[in-house]
Amino acid sequence: MTPFKLAAAAAIFTTLLFHPGCAASTPSAPPTPATLGVVRAHGRLHTAGNRLVGADGRPVSLAGVSYGWSQWEAARFYNADVVNWLKQDWHATIIRAPLGIHEEDGYLQHPARNLARVTRVVDAAIAAEVYVIIDWHDHQAQLHSEQAVAFFSDMARRYGKHPNIIYEIFNEPKTGLTWARDVKPYAEKVIAAIRAIDADNLIVVGTPNFSQNVDVAAADPLKDPNVAYVLHFYAGTHKQGLRAKALKALELGAPLFVTEWGTCDASGKGPIDEKSVGEWFAFMHEHQLSHCNWAVYDKSETAAIVHRSAGSKGHWREDDLSPSGKYARTLIRGWGE
């Protein structure tokens, strides 16, 4: 372990010590300087080598939360009040809004209601001056490229002038899809459509095997100058082997973005693995990665940050948070970058 890693691990441990059981019972903690106007402070994000930097060229490392799929247990939380609560109480500097695509009741079946949820969150994030990821939440987006092109063209027209916006064009390519044959050609098509309207906002692209094979993408990168590659980890499932792939990608010069991480296993279930989370957080500190915890929803499984008792407009009490929610909140509040 390098001194840097030790320092990061110590910082996390100290954070945990001094926020025992989390302080969610304080319902309206005032905003901190770190979260007031993070977008005003950093401006539009762009890549510089394997780092993300702000408009002034300084590295930026964001900590925040992803909503769950737009059509299911997360739907009632897609509103400005929850965005503001995540900023104010969780100190989130980034919010992710996953537009559920092809699964039951997703965007392909019910475009209007799912689009309305995502745009409510995007509009609220812009007003709150936090970053926001517009996520095409699909495991086989290469089959829906026409719809993705139309959607992201619309998003670029509506939002491309805002520095808050990050486009995530393919959440998790499922096992069996390859970078060269499936994901890269899809990404080139969707990126071309976005760039015809919005020349400059950051685009993040999922990588094969549920956004784990970042090394494969890094070895055959996209030509666009403002693209980062998506890395997902679930602490109970993914350990040093996945960090080795991430390190290889970084060494190849690829910027990475952790648009999802979980405290438990990759199914969203199983025990919280604090040892593994600690190792991942040290890694993310060392490499200044940005990250979103999965997720804002109230299903009865480990990864859901709230219980069904939680109000739809935030102002959650400690009892409303799941164990994973309490833990993630402490880590996000302690990120401090």
Give the residues lining the site for Mg ion (CB under 5 A). 160, 198, 200-201
Q: Which of 104, 172, 251, 318 is catalytic?
A: 172
User: Is the Cβ of residue 157 or residue 181 nearer to Mg ion in the bound state?
Assistant: 157
Q: How many CA atoms lie within 13 A of 204 on its CB side?
A: 31
- Rounded CA-CA distance 282/270 in Å is 22
Minimum distance, C-beta of residue 76 to Mg ion, in the bound complex (Å):
31
In one-letter notation, the amino acid at residue 44 is R
- Under DSSP, the state recorded for 321 is B
User: Is the Cβ of residue 122 or residue 216 nearer to Mg ion in the bound state?
Assistant: 122
- Under DSSP, the state recorded for 19 is S
Q: Which of 312, 290, 333 is nearest to 29 (CA)?
A: 333
User: Is the Cβ of residue 74 or residue 165 nearer to Mg ion in the bound state?
Assistant: 165
Alpha-helical runs (H) found in the chain: 3-18, 38-42, 80-88, 111-128, 145-159, 184-195, 208-211, 214-219, 240-251, 274-286, 323-333
User: Is the Cβ of residue 194 or residue 258 nearer to Mg ion in the bound state?
Assistant: 194
Minimum distance, C-beta of residue 187 to Mg ion, in the bound complex (Å):
18
User: Is the Cβ of residue 43 or residue 311 nearer to Mg ion in the bound state?
Assistant: 43
Minimum distance, C-beta of residue 51 to Mg ion, in the bound complex (Å):
20
Lookup result for tokens 């080139």: 188
Q: Is the dihedral of CA 230, 243, 232, 331 positive or negative?
A: negative
**Cβ 212 vs Cβ 231: under 8 Å:** yes
Minimum distance, C-beta of residue 93 to Mg ion, in the bound complex (Å):
19
Minimum distance, C-beta of residue 197 to Mg ion, in the bound complex (Å):
9
260: annotated active-site residue: yes
Minimum distance, C-beta of residue 320 to Mg ion, in the bound complex (Å):
37
Q: Which of 310, 308, 304 is nearest to 27 (CA)?
A: 310
Q: Which of 285, 302, 303, 286 is nearest to 294 (CA)?
A: 303
Whats the size of the chain, residue-wise? 337
Q: Which of 260, 274, 318, 337 is catalytic?
A: 260
Measured CA distances, 72 to 75, 108, 117, 255 (Å): 6, 14, 11, 31
User: Is the Cβ of residue 200 or residue 251 nearer to Mg ion in the bound state?
Assistant: 200
Q: How many CB atoms lie within 10 A of CB 327?
A: 19
Catalytic residues: 172, 260
